[in-house]
Chain A
Amino acid sequence: MRPRTLTAYGFLTPYLLIFLAFWVWPIISSFWMSFLNTRRLPWTFAPQANWGRLLVDPAFANALKNTLIILVVQVPVMITLATVLAVLLHSPLLKARGLFRFAFFAPVVVGEVAYAAVFRLMFNYEFGIINKLLALIGIAPVSWTSNPTAAMALIIIAVTWRWAGYNAILILAGLQSIPQDLYEAATLDKVSKTRQFLFITVPLLRPIILFCIVLSIIGTMQLFTEPFLITNRGGPGGATETLGMLLYRQGFLSFNFGYASAIAYTIAAIAMALSLLNMWAGKERR
Protein backbone atom coordinates (compact mmCIF):
# COMPACT_ATOMS: atom_id res chain seq x y z
CA MET A 1 0.00 0.00 0.00
CA ARG A 2 2.72 2.55 0.86
CA PRO A 3 4.25 2.70 -2.61
CA ARG A 4 0.74 3.51 -3.93
CA THR A 5 0.55 6.52 -1.63
CA LEU A 6 3.92 7.66 -2.95
CA THR A 7 2.79 7.24 -6.56
CA ALA A 8 -0.43 9.12 -5.82
CA TYR A 9 1.49 12.05 -4.37
CA GLY A 10 3.81 11.88 -7.35
CA PHE A 11 0.84 12.64 -9.57
CA LEU A 12 -0.50 15.26 -7.18
CA THR A 13 2.68 17.14 -6.34
CA PRO A 14 2.86 19.71 -9.16
CA TYR A 15 -0.78 20.62 -8.66
CA LEU A 16 -0.46 20.79 -4.89
CA LEU A 17 2.66 22.97 -5.12
CA ILE A 18 0.77 25.55 -7.19
CA PHE A 19 -2.15 25.24 -4.80
CA LEU A 20 0.00 25.81 -1.72
CA ALA A 21 1.99 28.67 -3.21
CA PHE A 22 -0.79 30.58 -4.94
CA TRP A 23 -3.88 29.74 -2.89
CA VAL A 24 -3.21 28.36 0.58
CA TRP A 25 -0.48 30.82 1.46
CA PRO A 26 -2.39 33.83 0.04
CA ILE A 27 -5.53 32.83 1.97
CA ILE A 28 -3.53 32.90 5.20
CA SER A 29 -1.51 35.92 4.22
CA SER A 30 -4.44 38.16 3.31
CA PHE A 31 -6.22 37.19 6.51
CA TRP A 32 -3.15 38.22 8.51
CA MET A 33 -2.70 41.41 6.48
CA SER A 34 -6.25 42.49 7.23
CA PHE A 35 -5.07 43.06 10.81
CA LEU A 36 -2.03 45.11 9.82
CA ASN A 37 -1.75 48.80 9.27
CA THR A 38 -0.18 48.82 5.81
CA ARG A 39 -0.42 52.54 5.15
CA ARG A 40 3.17 53.11 6.20
CA LEU A 41 6.28 51.02 6.71
CA PRO A 42 6.92 49.04 8.80
CA TRP A 43 3.53 47.30 8.81
CA THR A 44 2.27 47.08 12.39
CA PHE A 45 -0.42 45.02 14.06
CA ALA A 46 -3.44 47.31 14.37
CA PRO A 47 -6.81 45.57 13.85
CA GLN A 48 -8.80 48.78 14.18
CA ALA A 49 -6.86 50.33 11.28
CA ASN A 50 -8.81 48.21 8.77
CA TRP A 51 -11.66 46.45 10.51
CA GLY A 52 -12.51 49.56 12.50
CA ARG A 53 -12.30 51.68 9.39
CA LEU A 54 -14.80 49.43 7.57
CA LEU A 55 -17.47 50.41 10.10
CA VAL A 56 -17.06 54.14 9.57
CA ASP A 57 -15.87 54.45 5.95
CA PRO A 58 -18.64 56.02 3.83
CA ALA A 59 -16.96 54.67 0.66
CA PHE A 60 -17.28 51.14 2.02
CA ALA A 61 -20.91 51.67 3.04
CA ASN A 62 -21.65 53.00 -0.44
CA ALA A 63 -19.91 50.10 -2.22
CA LEU A 64 -21.63 47.57 0.03
CA LYS A 65 -25.02 49.16 -0.65
CA ASN A 66 -24.44 49.19 -4.43
CA THR A 67 -23.24 45.59 -4.49
CA LEU A 68 -26.22 44.37 -2.50
CA ILE A 69 -28.70 46.30 -4.66
CA ILE A 70 -27.23 44.77 -7.81
CA LEU A 71 -27.28 41.35 -6.15
CA VAL A 72 -30.87 41.57 -4.95
CA VAL A 73 -32.18 42.73 -8.33
CA GLN A 74 -29.89 40.95 -10.75
CA VAL A 75 -29.64 37.42 -9.35
CA PRO A 76 -33.40 36.69 -9.14
CA VAL A 77 -34.08 38.28 -12.54
CA MET A 78 -31.27 36.37 -14.21
CA ILE A 79 -32.01 32.99 -12.59
CA THR A 80 -35.70 33.26 -13.47
CA LEU A 81 -34.83 34.18 -17.03
CA ALA A 82 -32.26 31.37 -17.26
CA THR A 83 -34.79 28.83 -15.99
CA VAL A 84 -37.40 29.98 -18.50
CA LEU A 85 -34.83 29.89 -21.30
CA ALA A 86 -33.68 26.39 -20.35
CA VAL A 87 -37.24 25.05 -20.23
CA LEU A 88 -38.10 26.65 -23.59
CA LEU A 89 -34.87 25.44 -25.22
CA HIS A 90 -35.60 21.96 -23.90
CA SER A 91 -39.03 21.82 -25.58
CA PRO A 92 -39.31 19.09 -28.25
CA LEU A 93 -41.45 21.51 -30.30
CA LEU A 94 -38.53 23.89 -30.87
CA LYS A 95 -37.34 24.40 -34.45
CA ALA A 96 -33.87 25.74 -35.36
CA ARG A 97 -32.64 24.62 -31.96
CA GLY A 98 -28.99 25.24 -32.84
CA LEU A 99 -29.63 28.87 -33.77
CA PHE A 100 -31.53 29.60 -30.57
CA ARG A 101 -28.86 27.94 -28.47
CA PHE A 102 -26.20 29.98 -30.21
CA ALA A 103 -28.09 33.22 -29.51
CA PHE A 104 -28.28 32.64 -25.76
CA PHE A 105 -25.05 30.71 -25.18
CA ALA A 106 -22.72 32.85 -27.30
CA PRO A 107 -22.25 35.56 -24.60
CA VAL A 108 -20.58 32.87 -22.47
CA VAL A 109 -17.49 32.97 -24.71
CA VAL A 110 -17.38 36.76 -25.04
CA GLY A 111 -14.68 38.31 -22.89
CA GLU A 112 -15.47 40.91 -20.26
CA VAL A 113 -13.52 43.66 -22.00
CA ALA A 114 -15.07 43.07 -25.42
CA TYR A 115 -18.60 43.09 -24.10
CA ALA A 116 -17.96 46.05 -21.80
CA ALA A 117 -16.73 48.02 -24.81
CA VAL A 118 -19.84 47.19 -26.84
CA PHE A 119 -22.24 47.99 -24.02
CA ARG A 120 -20.50 51.26 -23.31
CA LEU A 121 -20.88 52.28 -26.93
CA MET A 122 -24.46 51.02 -27.28
CA PHE A 123 -25.60 52.90 -24.17
CA ASN A 124 -23.79 56.16 -24.96
CA TYR A 125 -26.08 59.11 -24.24
CA GLU A 126 -25.67 61.01 -27.50
CA PHE A 127 -24.65 58.41 -30.08
CA GLY A 128 -25.69 55.15 -28.51
CA ILE A 129 -27.94 52.93 -30.56
CA ILE A 130 -30.16 52.17 -27.55
CA ASN A 131 -31.17 55.80 -27.09
CA LYS A 132 -31.71 56.12 -30.86
CA LEU A 133 -34.01 53.10 -30.78
CA LEU A 134 -35.83 54.45 -27.71
CA ALA A 135 -36.37 57.72 -29.60
CA LEU A 136 -38.12 55.74 -32.34
CA ILE A 137 -40.80 54.67 -29.89
CA GLY A 138 -41.01 58.13 -28.36
CA ILE A 139 -38.93 57.64 -25.22
CA ALA A 140 -36.62 60.50 -24.24
CA PRO A 141 -32.91 59.62 -24.25
CA VAL A 142 -31.68 58.09 -20.98
CA SER A 143 -28.38 59.29 -19.57
CA TRP A 144 -27.19 55.76 -18.88
CA THR A 145 -23.80 56.71 -17.48
CA SER A 146 -24.54 59.99 -15.70
CA ASN A 147 -27.82 59.17 -13.95
CA PRO A 148 -27.11 56.98 -10.89
CA THR A 149 -30.25 54.83 -11.22
CA ALA A 150 -29.83 54.36 -14.96
CA ALA A 151 -26.16 53.46 -14.45
CA MET A 152 -27.14 50.75 -11.97
CA ALA A 153 -29.75 49.49 -14.44
CA LEU A 154 -27.09 49.41 -17.16
CA ILE A 155 -24.78 47.26 -15.01
CA ILE A 156 -27.66 44.88 -14.25
CA ILE A 157 -28.66 44.65 -17.94
CA ALA A 158 -25.07 43.98 -18.98
CA VAL A 159 -24.43 41.28 -16.37
CA THR A 160 -27.75 39.60 -17.16
CA TRP A 161 -26.92 39.54 -20.87
CA ARG A 162 -23.53 38.02 -20.18
CA TRP A 163 -24.52 35.34 -17.65
CA ALA A 164 -28.14 34.28 -18.30
CA GLY A 165 -27.05 31.83 -21.01
CA TYR A 166 -24.36 30.35 -18.80
CA ASN A 167 -26.93 29.55 -16.14
CA ALA A 168 -29.36 28.30 -18.80
CA ILE A 169 -26.68 25.78 -19.92
CA LEU A 170 -26.40 24.46 -16.37
CA ILE A 171 -30.17 24.25 -15.89
CA LEU A 172 -30.62 22.69 -19.32
CA ALA A 173 -28.09 19.98 -18.40
CA GLY A 174 -30.21 19.39 -15.30
CA LEU A 175 -33.39 19.12 -17.38
CA GLN A 176 -31.74 16.62 -19.71
CA SER A 177 -30.70 14.45 -16.79
CA ILE A 178 -34.31 13.99 -15.60
CA PRO A 179 -35.36 10.46 -16.65
CA GLN A 180 -37.93 10.66 -19.46
CA ASP A 181 -40.02 7.77 -18.08
CA LEU A 182 -41.11 9.95 -15.14
CA TYR A 183 -43.01 12.09 -17.63
CA GLU A 184 -44.26 9.08 -19.55
CA ALA A 185 -45.66 7.52 -16.38
CA ALA A 186 -47.26 10.84 -15.41
CA THR A 187 -48.82 11.20 -18.85
CA LEU A 188 -50.24 7.67 -18.59
CA ASP A 189 -51.75 8.67 -15.25
CA LYS A 190 -53.33 11.67 -17.01
CA VAL A 191 -51.32 14.25 -15.06
CA SER A 192 -51.49 17.58 -16.90
CA LYS A 193 -48.34 19.16 -18.40
CA THR A 194 -48.56 22.05 -15.94
CA ARG A 195 -48.74 19.72 -12.96
CA GLN A 196 -45.90 17.62 -14.41
CA PHE A 197 -43.79 20.79 -14.58
CA LEU A 198 -44.66 21.80 -11.01
CA PHE A 199 -44.34 18.38 -9.40
CA ILE A 200 -41.64 16.66 -11.44
CA THR A 201 -39.48 19.27 -13.16
CA VAL A 202 -39.28 21.96 -10.49
CA PRO A 203 -38.41 19.69 -7.53
CA LEU A 204 -35.79 17.81 -9.53
CA LEU A 205 -34.25 21.05 -10.76
CA ARG A 206 -34.07 22.62 -7.32
CA PRO A 207 -30.49 21.49 -6.51
CA ILE A 208 -29.16 22.85 -9.80
CA ILE A 209 -31.00 26.14 -9.49
CA LEU A 210 -29.62 26.47 -5.97
CA PHE A 211 -26.14 25.79 -7.37
CA CYS A 212 -26.68 28.53 -10.00
CA ILE A 213 -27.87 30.98 -7.34
CA VAL A 214 -24.83 30.28 -5.18
CA LEU A 215 -22.45 30.74 -8.14
CA SER A 216 -24.25 33.96 -9.09
CA ILE A 217 -24.05 35.33 -5.56
CA ILE A 218 -20.31 34.67 -5.45
CA GLY A 219 -19.86 36.20 -8.91
CA THR A 220 -21.92 39.30 -8.18
CA MET A 221 -20.18 39.91 -4.87
CA GLN A 222 -16.95 40.16 -6.89
CA LEU A 223 -18.30 42.39 -9.66
CA PHE A 224 -15.44 44.49 -10.97
CA THR A 225 -14.99 44.75 -14.75
CA GLU A 226 -18.47 46.06 -15.52
CA PRO A 227 -18.38 49.10 -13.23
CA PHE A 228 -14.68 49.56 -14.05
CA LEU A 229 -15.14 49.74 -17.82
CA ILE A 230 -18.84 50.27 -18.64
CA THR A 231 -19.71 52.97 -16.11
CA ASN A 232 -16.17 54.36 -16.07
CA ARG A 233 -14.58 53.45 -12.71
CA GLY A 234 -17.83 53.04 -10.80
CA GLY A 235 -19.33 56.32 -11.97
CA PRO A 236 -21.21 58.59 -11.92
CA GLY A 237 -19.58 59.80 -8.70
CA GLY A 238 -19.34 56.35 -7.13
CA ALA A 239 -22.98 55.49 -7.88
CA THR A 240 -21.97 52.10 -9.31
CA GLU A 241 -18.86 51.52 -7.23
CA THR A 242 -18.96 47.90 -6.07
CA LEU A 243 -16.94 46.21 -3.34
CA GLY A 244 -14.70 44.81 -6.08
CA MET A 245 -14.02 48.31 -7.42
CA LEU A 246 -13.30 49.65 -3.93
CA LEU A 247 -10.92 46.76 -3.28
CA TYR A 248 -9.13 47.50 -6.55
CA ARG A 249 -8.76 51.19 -5.67
CA GLN A 250 -7.58 50.51 -2.13
CA GLY A 251 -5.30 47.59 -2.96
CA PHE A 252 -3.86 48.41 -6.34
CA LEU A 253 -4.10 52.19 -6.71
CA SER A 254 -3.44 53.24 -3.09
CA PHE A 255 -1.47 50.03 -2.28
CA ASN A 256 -3.21 49.81 1.08
CA PHE A 257 -3.06 46.01 1.14
CA GLY A 258 -4.35 45.64 4.70
CA TYR A 259 -7.58 47.51 4.07
CA ALA A 260 -8.06 45.76 0.72
CA SER A 261 -7.64 42.40 2.49
CA ALA A 262 -10.27 43.34 5.05
CA ILE A 263 -12.63 44.19 2.16
CA ALA A 264 -11.78 40.85 0.49
CA TYR A 265 -12.66 38.91 3.62
CA THR A 266 -15.85 40.92 4.01
CA ILE A 267 -16.80 39.93 0.45
CA ALA A 268 -16.02 36.29 1.23
CA ALA A 269 -18.00 36.37 4.48
CA ILE A 270 -21.08 37.95 2.89
CA ALA A 271 -20.94 35.59 -0.11
CA MET A 272 -20.68 32.60 2.18
CA ALA A 273 -23.43 33.78 4.52
CA LEU A 274 -25.81 34.46 1.62
CA SER A 275 -24.99 31.11 0.00
CA LEU A 276 -25.60 29.20 3.21
CA LEU A 277 -28.81 31.12 3.89
CA ASN A 278 -29.95 30.31 0.39
CA MET A 279 -29.11 26.61 0.67
CA TRP A 280 -30.90 26.47 4.01
CA ALA A 281 -34.00 28.17 2.59
CA GLY A 282 -33.92 25.87 -0.44
CA LYS A 283 -33.87 22.79 1.79
CA GLU A 284 -36.60 23.94 4.13
CA ARG A 285 -39.30 23.98 1.48
CA ARG A 286 -39.04 20.33 0.56
Chain B
Amino acid sequence: MFTARTGRALALHAVLLPLALIWLFPLWTMFVFATLPDDGIFGAGIELLPSTAFADNFANLQHDTDFIRAMSISIGVASVYTLISVALTSMAGWALARYRFVGRTAVIGIIFGTITLPYFVVVIPQFIMVARDFNMANSWFALIVPPLFNSLGVLFMRQSFTMLPEEVFDAARVEGIGEWRTFFHIALPMTRPTLAALSIILFLHSWNNYLWPLLVNSRPEMMTAPVALGSLIGLTKVSWGGIMVGAVVLTAPMLVLFVALQRHFIAGISAGAVK
Protein backbone atom coordinates (compact mmCIF):
# COMPACT_ATOMS: atom_id res chain seq x y z
CA MET B 1 0.00 0.00 0.00
CA PHE B 2 1.17 3.48 -0.80
CA THR B 3 1.06 5.40 2.45
CA ALA B 4 2.34 8.81 3.46
CA ARG B 5 5.23 7.01 5.11
CA THR B 6 6.43 5.26 1.96
CA GLY B 7 5.91 8.52 0.09
CA ARG B 8 8.24 10.28 2.50
CA ALA B 9 10.73 7.42 2.29
CA LEU B 10 10.73 7.64 -1.51
CA ALA B 11 11.23 11.41 -1.45
CA LEU B 12 14.09 11.00 1.02
CA HIS B 13 15.93 8.55 -1.22
CA ALA B 14 15.15 10.57 -4.35
CA VAL B 15 17.00 13.52 -2.80
CA LEU B 16 19.82 11.61 -1.17
CA LEU B 17 20.73 9.13 -3.92
CA PRO B 18 21.76 11.65 -6.63
CA LEU B 19 23.67 13.65 -4.02
CA ALA B 20 25.48 10.52 -2.85
CA LEU B 21 26.44 9.65 -6.42
CA ILE B 22 27.79 13.17 -7.00
CA TRP B 23 29.77 12.91 -3.75
CA LEU B 24 31.24 9.54 -4.70
CA PHE B 25 32.07 10.66 -8.22
CA PRO B 26 35.48 12.27 -7.52
CA LEU B 27 36.63 9.17 -5.62
CA TRP B 28 35.39 6.88 -8.37
CA THR B 29 37.13 9.06 -10.97
CA MET B 30 40.35 8.84 -8.97
CA PHE B 31 40.25 5.03 -9.01
CA VAL B 32 39.28 4.87 -12.70
CA PHE B 33 41.95 7.33 -13.83
CA ALA B 34 44.60 5.46 -11.86
CA THR B 35 43.94 2.47 -14.10
CA LEU B 36 43.73 4.32 -17.44
CA PRO B 37 46.64 4.76 -19.83
CA ASP B 38 47.43 8.44 -20.46
CA ASP B 39 45.69 8.40 -23.87
CA GLY B 40 42.54 7.30 -22.00
CA ILE B 41 42.78 10.19 -19.56
CA PHE B 42 43.44 12.70 -22.33
CA GLY B 43 41.18 11.15 -24.96
CA ALA B 44 37.93 12.60 -26.24
CA GLY B 45 35.67 9.95 -24.72
CA ILE B 46 34.11 9.78 -21.27
CA GLU B 47 35.83 7.02 -19.31
CA LEU B 48 33.80 5.75 -16.37
CA LEU B 49 35.12 2.21 -16.01
CA PRO B 50 38.49 1.00 -14.80
CA SER B 51 41.09 -0.28 -17.23
CA THR B 52 44.31 -2.23 -16.72
CA ALA B 53 47.15 0.30 -16.69
CA PHE B 54 47.51 0.59 -12.90
CA ALA B 55 50.94 -1.09 -12.81
CA ASP B 56 52.21 1.00 -15.75
CA ASN B 57 50.95 4.15 -14.09
CA PHE B 58 52.66 3.16 -10.85
CA ALA B 59 55.92 2.66 -12.75
CA ASN B 60 55.49 6.14 -14.28
CA LEU B 61 54.87 7.63 -10.86
CA GLN B 62 57.93 5.91 -9.44
CA HIS B 63 59.91 7.31 -12.40
CA ASP B 64 58.66 10.87 -11.78
CA THR B 65 59.37 10.81 -8.04
CA ASP B 66 60.58 8.10 -5.64
CA PHE B 67 57.11 7.44 -4.32
CA ILE B 68 57.97 4.21 -2.49
CA ARG B 69 60.55 6.04 -0.40
CA ALA B 70 58.12 8.91 0.21
CA MET B 71 55.47 6.42 1.32
CA SER B 72 57.94 4.76 3.72
CA ILE B 73 58.74 8.14 5.23
CA SER B 74 55.03 8.94 5.56
CA ILE B 75 54.26 5.62 7.24
CA GLY B 76 57.17 6.03 9.65
CA VAL B 77 56.35 9.63 10.50
CA ALA B 78 52.63 9.01 11.01
CA SER B 79 53.28 5.94 13.20
CA VAL B 80 55.89 7.57 15.45
CA TYR B 81 53.89 10.80 15.58
CA THR B 82 50.77 8.92 16.64
CA LEU B 83 52.58 6.98 19.39
CA ILE B 84 54.23 10.04 20.91
CA SER B 85 51.20 12.24 20.54
CA VAL B 86 48.85 9.70 22.14
CA ALA B 87 51.27 9.36 25.05
CA LEU B 88 51.58 13.14 25.55
CA THR B 89 47.90 13.94 25.18
CA SER B 90 46.65 11.09 27.35
CA MET B 91 49.09 11.97 30.13
CA ALA B 92 48.05 15.62 29.98
CA GLY B 93 44.37 14.68 29.79
CA TRP B 94 44.81 12.47 32.86
CA ALA B 95 46.48 15.27 34.82
CA LEU B 96 43.62 17.64 34.00
CA ALA B 97 40.93 15.10 34.81
CA ARG B 98 42.34 13.52 37.97
CA TYR B 99 44.11 16.25 39.93
CA ARG B 100 43.07 19.59 41.35
CA PHE B 101 46.30 21.55 41.18
CA VAL B 102 47.53 25.12 41.04
CA GLY B 103 47.20 26.52 37.50
CA ARG B 104 44.75 23.87 36.29
CA THR B 105 42.07 26.31 35.16
CA ALA B 106 44.67 28.44 33.41
CA VAL B 107 46.08 25.45 31.54
CA ILE B 108 42.62 24.33 30.40
CA GLY B 109 41.71 27.88 29.37
CA ILE B 110 44.85 28.34 27.32
CA ILE B 111 44.43 24.99 25.58
CA PHE B 112 40.82 25.86 24.72
CA GLY B 113 41.95 29.24 23.43
CA THR B 114 44.31 27.71 20.87
CA ILE B 115 41.46 25.84 19.14
CA THR B 116 40.34 29.05 17.49
CA LEU B 117 43.84 30.30 16.74
CA PRO B 118 44.86 30.05 13.06
CA TYR B 119 47.90 27.84 12.49
CA PHE B 120 49.52 30.59 10.39
CA VAL B 121 50.23 32.55 13.56
CA VAL B 122 52.69 29.87 14.72
CA VAL B 123 53.99 28.38 11.49
CA ILE B 124 56.46 31.15 10.61
CA PRO B 125 58.41 31.09 13.91
CA GLN B 126 58.20 27.27 13.93
CA PHE B 127 59.84 27.31 10.53
CA ILE B 128 62.52 29.79 11.56
CA MET B 129 63.23 27.80 14.70
CA VAL B 130 63.48 24.39 13.06
CA ALA B 131 65.10 25.33 9.75
CA ARG B 132 67.43 28.11 10.85
CA ASP B 133 67.99 28.04 14.63
CA PHE B 134 68.14 24.23 15.00
CA ASN B 135 69.35 23.68 11.43
CA MET B 136 67.06 20.64 11.32
CA ALA B 137 65.19 21.04 8.03
CA ASN B 138 64.76 17.79 6.10
CA SER B 139 64.89 15.64 9.21
CA TRP B 140 62.56 13.25 11.01
CA PHE B 141 62.61 15.57 13.99
CA ALA B 142 61.22 18.41 11.86
CA LEU B 143 58.38 16.24 10.59
CA ILE B 144 57.38 14.71 13.92
CA VAL B 145 58.03 17.07 16.82
CA PRO B 146 56.64 20.56 16.00
CA PRO B 147 53.14 19.27 15.05
CA LEU B 148 52.87 17.27 18.30
CA PHE B 149 50.80 19.86 20.11
CA ASN B 150 47.07 19.43 19.65
CA SER B 151 44.32 20.79 21.80
CA LEU B 152 41.27 18.70 20.88
CA GLY B 153 43.04 15.44 21.77
CA VAL B 154 43.75 16.57 25.33
CA LEU B 155 40.19 17.72 25.88
CA PHE B 156 38.94 14.46 24.39
CA MET B 157 41.12 12.37 26.75
CA ARG B 158 40.31 14.54 29.74
CA GLN B 159 36.60 14.04 29.13
CA SER B 160 37.04 10.30 28.77
CA PHE B 161 39.04 10.03 32.03
CA THR B 162 36.45 12.15 33.86
CA MET B 163 33.80 9.59 32.98
CA LEU B 164 35.66 6.70 34.63
CA PRO B 165 34.44 5.73 38.12
CA GLU B 166 36.49 7.69 40.66
CA GLU B 167 36.24 4.90 43.30
CA VAL B 168 38.58 2.63 41.32
CA PHE B 169 41.41 5.14 41.56
CA ASP B 170 40.69 5.99 45.17
CA ALA B 171 40.83 2.26 45.95
CA ALA B 172 44.15 2.02 44.10
CA ARG B 173 45.49 4.88 46.18
CA VAL B 174 44.37 3.18 49.41
CA GLU B 175 46.10 0.01 48.23
CA GLY B 176 49.28 2.03 47.92
CA ILE B 177 49.56 1.73 44.15
CA GLY B 178 51.61 4.65 42.78
CA GLU B 179 50.04 7.36 40.64
CA TRP B 180 51.99 6.42 37.50
CA ARG B 181 51.14 2.74 37.83
CA THR B 182 47.49 3.67 38.35
CA PHE B 183 47.62 5.66 35.14
CA PHE B 184 49.38 3.08 32.97
CA HIS B 185 47.83 -0.12 34.35
CA ILE B 186 44.33 0.94 35.38
CA ALA B 187 43.22 4.20 33.76
CA LEU B 188 44.68 3.76 30.25
CA PRO B 189 43.27 0.26 29.66
CA MET B 190 39.86 1.52 30.77
CA THR B 191 39.77 4.16 28.01
CA ARG B 192 40.80 1.87 25.18
CA PRO B 193 37.95 2.95 22.82
CA THR B 194 38.86 6.60 23.26
CA LEU B 195 42.53 5.81 22.71
CA ALA B 196 41.61 4.01 19.49
CA ALA B 197 39.54 6.95 18.25
CA LEU B 198 42.30 9.41 19.16
CA SER B 199 45.03 7.32 17.50
CA ILE B 200 43.07 7.11 14.26
CA ILE B 201 42.44 10.84 14.11
CA LEU B 202 46.07 11.66 14.92
CA PHE B 203 47.38 9.17 12.37
CA LEU B 204 45.09 10.60 9.70
CA HIS B 205 46.15 14.12 10.62
CA SER B 206 49.83 13.29 10.24
CA TRP B 207 49.32 11.15 7.12
CA ASN B 208 47.53 13.95 5.25
CA ASN B 209 49.58 16.84 6.62
CA TYR B 210 50.80 18.94 3.71
CA LEU B 211 51.79 22.52 4.50
CA TRP B 212 54.31 21.86 7.28
CA PRO B 213 56.19 19.00 5.54
CA LEU B 214 56.16 21.10 2.36
CA LEU B 215 57.92 23.90 4.25
CA VAL B 216 60.48 21.95 6.25
CA ASN B 217 61.14 18.84 4.18
CA SER B 218 61.41 20.02 0.61
CA ARG B 219 64.54 18.00 -0.25
CA PRO B 220 63.40 15.13 -2.50
CA GLU B 221 65.07 12.44 -0.34
CA MET B 222 63.09 13.54 2.72
CA MET B 223 59.69 14.32 1.17
CA THR B 224 56.55 12.77 2.61
CA ALA B 225 54.13 11.19 0.15
CA PRO B 226 51.71 14.16 -0.04
CA VAL B 227 54.63 16.54 -0.65
CA ALA B 228 56.13 14.28 -3.31
CA LEU B 229 52.77 13.96 -5.03
CA GLY B 230 52.07 17.69 -4.74
CA SER B 231 55.44 18.46 -6.33
CA LEU B 232 54.26 16.73 -9.52
CA ILE B 233 50.99 18.64 -9.85
CA GLY B 234 51.46 21.48 -12.29
CA LEU B 235 54.56 20.09 -13.99
CA THR B 236 54.18 19.86 -17.76
CA LYS B 237 55.88 16.55 -18.55
CA VAL B 238 54.34 14.32 -15.95
CA SER B 239 52.16 11.21 -15.98
CA TRP B 240 48.68 12.06 -14.73
CA GLY B 241 47.87 8.38 -14.52
CA GLY B 242 50.83 8.17 -12.15
CA ILE B 243 49.56 11.08 -10.06
CA MET B 244 46.18 9.37 -9.79
CA VAL B 245 47.90 6.16 -8.64
CA GLY B 246 49.65 8.21 -5.96
CA ALA B 247 46.32 9.71 -4.90
CA VAL B 248 44.78 6.24 -4.71
CA VAL B 249 47.69 4.81 -2.73
CA LEU B 250 47.41 7.72 -0.28
CA THR B 251 43.64 7.49 0.00
CA ALA B 252 42.76 3.79 -0.20
CA PRO B 253 44.30 2.70 3.15
CA MET B 254 42.46 5.53 4.92
CA LEU B 255 39.17 4.57 3.25
CA VAL B 256 39.64 0.94 4.31
CA LEU B 257 40.41 2.08 7.87
CA PHE B 258 37.41 4.36 7.76
CA VAL B 259 35.05 1.57 6.73
CA ALA B 260 36.52 -0.89 9.24
CA LEU B 261 36.64 1.54 12.16
CA GLN B 262 33.83 3.93 11.26
CA ARG B 263 32.56 4.14 14.81
CA HIS B 264 35.96 5.24 16.16
CA PHE B 265 36.47 7.71 13.32
CA ILE B 266 33.14 9.35 13.90
CA ALA B 267 33.65 9.38 17.67
CA GLY B 268 37.02 11.08 17.16
CA ILE B 269 35.66 13.67 14.75
CA SER B 270 32.56 14.54 16.72
CA ALA B 271 34.47 14.68 20.02
CA GLY B 272 34.91 18.41 19.65
CA ALA B 273 31.26 19.12 19.11
CA VAL B 274 29.41 17.27 21.83
CA LYS B 275 30.45 18.02 25.35
Residue of B145, B149, B266 near A105 (CB, 8 A) is: B266
- Cβ of A33 under 8 Å from chain B: yes
B169 interface hit (Cβ, 8 Å): no
A23 and B101 contact, Cβ closer than 8 Å, known pairs A99-B20, A109-B251, A177-B274? no
* Cβ contact within 8 Å between A225 and B211: yes
Give the distance in Å from the alpha carbon of A173 to the alpha carbon of B271 in the complex: 9
The size class of the interface chain B forms with chain A is: 35 or more
Q: Which of A11, A170, A251 contacts B124 (CB under 8 A)?
A: A251
Chain A positions within 8 Å of B87 at CB level: 14
* Docked-complex contact B126 and A22, CB < 8 angstroms: yes
B270 nearest CB across to chain A (Å): 4
CA distance A264 to B127 in the complex (A): 14
Asked, given contacts A15-B88, A169-B270, whether A8 binds B104 with beta carbons under 8 Å apart, the answer is: yes
Contact B247 A103 (CB under 8 A): no
A33 and B20 form a contact (CB under 8 A): no
Interface residues on A, range: 35 or more
Contacts of A173 in B (CB 8 A): 266, 270, 273-274
- Which A residues lie within 8 Å of B233 (CB)? 113, 116-117, 120, 229
Contacts of B30 in A (CB 8 A): 114, 118
CB-CB nearest in chain B for A29: B125
**With an 8 A cutoff between CB atoms, is B195 at the interface?**
no
Contact of B251 among A18, A25, A99, A111 (CB under 8 A): A111
Interface of B, helix, strand, loop or mixed by DSSP: helix
Whether A35 is near chain B, meaning CB under 8 Å from some CB there, is: no
Q: Does A265 contact B (CB under 8 A)?
A: yes
Q: Is the CB of A110 within 8 A of B251?
A: yes
Q: Are A26 and B129 in contact (CB under 8 A)?
A: yes
B259 lies within 8 A of A30 (CB): no
Quick check: B116 and A218 within 8 Å, CB to CB? yes
Q: Check if A25 sits within 8 Å of B125, measured CB to CB.
A: yes
Q: A246-286 toward B: CB 8 Å interface, digit per residue (1/0)?
A: 01100110000100110111011001100100000000000
Alpha-carbon separation in the docked complex, A29 to B57 (Å): 46
Whether the Cβ atoms of B234 and A229 lie closer than 8 Å is yes
- Say how far A126's CB is from chain B's closest CB, in angstroms: 8
Name the residue on A nearest B232 (C-beta): A117
**Complex contact A94–B118 (CB within 8 A):** no
Chain B residues, CB < 8 A from A214: 116
Q: In the complex, what distance in Å separates the CA atom of A177 from the CA atom of B16?
A: 23
Give min CB distance, A156 to chain B, whole Å.
15
Give the distance in Å from the alpha carbon of A19 to the alpha carbon of B154 in the complex. Answer: 12
Taking CB atoms and an 8 Å cut-off, the chain A residues in 86-119 that contact chain B are 88-89, 91, 93-95, 98-119
- 8 Å CB contacts to A: which residues of B121-162? 121-129, 145-146, 148-149, 154
Which residue, A101, A166, A264, has most C-beta atoms of chain B within 10 A?
A264
Q: Do residues B247 and A113 form an inter-chain contact, with CB atoms below 8 A?
A: yes
Residues in A neighbouring B175, C-beta threshold 8 A: none
Of the stretches A44-52, A56-64, A127-135, A179-187, the one at the interface is A127-135
The yes or no answer to B24 lying at the interface (CB within 8 A) is: yes
Given A110-B27, A117-B229, A267-B120: A104 and B149 interface contact (C-beta under 8 Å): no
Q: How far is the CA of A99 from the CA of B17 in the complex (A)?
A: 10
5 A-B residue pairings within 8 Å (CB atoms): A7-B99, A111-B250, A116-B230, A173-B273, A267-B121
Q: Which residues of B contact A (CB under 8 A)?
A: 5, 8-9, 12-13, 15-16, 19-21, 23-24, 26-27, 29-30, 33, 41-43, 45-47, 87-89, 91-92, 94-96, 98-102, 104, 107, 111, 114, 116-129, 145-146, 148-149, 154, 179-180, 183, 204, 207-208, 210-211, 215, 226-227, 229-230, 233-234, 240, 243-244, 246-248, 250-251, 254-255, 257-259, 262, 265-266, 269-270, 272-274
